[in-house]
Amino acid sequence: SIVLARVLKGMQQALVEGAKNINLVVSPYISGRLCDNKSLQQLTNYNADIIAYIDESDTRFLEDNPPKIPIVLYNRNSETFSTVRSDNDAAGRIAATQFISKGITQIGIVLQKRPFVSMHQRSNSFVQMCEEHGITSLHDNTVWSDGTVNGGFDAGIKIIERGVFPQGIYCDSDSVGLGLQSAFSKHRDKVPADIELVAIGTAPSILTPYGPPPLTLVELPLEEMAIRSAALLRDLLRHN
């Protein structure tokens, strides 16, 4: 995927520049089923791990069963393990500013039913900043999705069928935003031409401006976080 390619690019850059004797191995797992990955509890497979995109149940598993090797959690919070993450509060505020700076006060939001912790933090920050500026329409204009492009498309159809459009819509992921954009583009005769769409995510921003309506993306720094994760893990290995 595009996301994996960007993460690996950053890690490869950090490892090549800082430690040429380290081999990078990708070990896939199913989110929510990290407990099935037995290599974390064995010393024969890897010397260290960077673990990305775990959910809350995976975090609990790690805390209850600490690996015997150094680990870094990528873009997640933890009081137990080393982490590298984006500034989720800042990302939410940046998204809110996209509307506030244009005087948009009627805002809808499309949220995932089961968001990751980081995603939830970004959305909370977005809502908080909007409320600080007197925008109180959010809870009345909330639509839920499953977090996929298809889910975003379905959310767009729900908004169209309702027939009441806010001036702008915030999406908690770029996948949802792209699906919403697709639904609005397909039924553009029913959608206000000047509606603003803003999403936070990991898709390259080159994919998102096209519409109508265009989608503004607050892009997360995947490569930068990957470089910092690899550098941190290298330091942990040196001192382990």
Structural tokens at position 171: 């999406």
Average pLDDT over residues 57-65: 90
Mean pLDDT of the 49-72 span? 88
| Cα distances (Å, whole numbers) of residue 190 to 45, 91, 178, 186, 215 | 56, 31, 18, 9, 18
**Average pLDDT score over the chain:** 87
Q: Quick one: tokens of 136? A: 């109180």
pLDDT at site 40? 74
Confidence of residue 20 (pLDDT cuts 50, 70, 90): low
User: Is 23 a residue whose pLDDT tops 90?
Assistant: no
End-to-end CA distance of the chain: 33
Q: How confident is the model at residue 79 (pLDDT cuts 50, 70, 90)?
A: confident
Strand 71-74, strand 82-84: pairing: parallel
Treating both helix axes as pointing N-terminal to C-terminal, what angle do 222-239 and 2-18 enclose, rounded to 10 degrees?
40
Neighbouring C-beta atoms of residue 35, cutoff 10 Å:
16
Whether residue 6 is predicted with pLDDT greater than 90 in this model: the reply is no
**169-226, pLDDT tens digit by residue?**
999 999 899 999 999 999 988 998 889 999 998 776 655 556 678 889 998 898 899 9
* pLDDT tier for residue 153 given thresholds of 50, 70 and 90: very high
Q: Is the pLDDT of residue 51 over 70?
A: yes
Confidence check: pLDDT of 85 > 80: yes
Residue 143 has pLDDT above 60, yes or no: yes
More confident residue, 74 or 238: 74
pLDDT above 70 coverage of the chain, percent? 92
Average pLDDT over residues 115-139: 89
By the 8 A CB rule, do 60 and 81 touch? Answer: no
Query: What integer pLDDT is reported at residue 132 of this predicted model?
Result: 95
- pLDDT tens-digit series, residues 156-171: 999 999 988 999 999 9
Looking at residue 131, its pLDDT comes to 94
Q: What is the Cα 155 distance to its own chain's centre?
A: 18
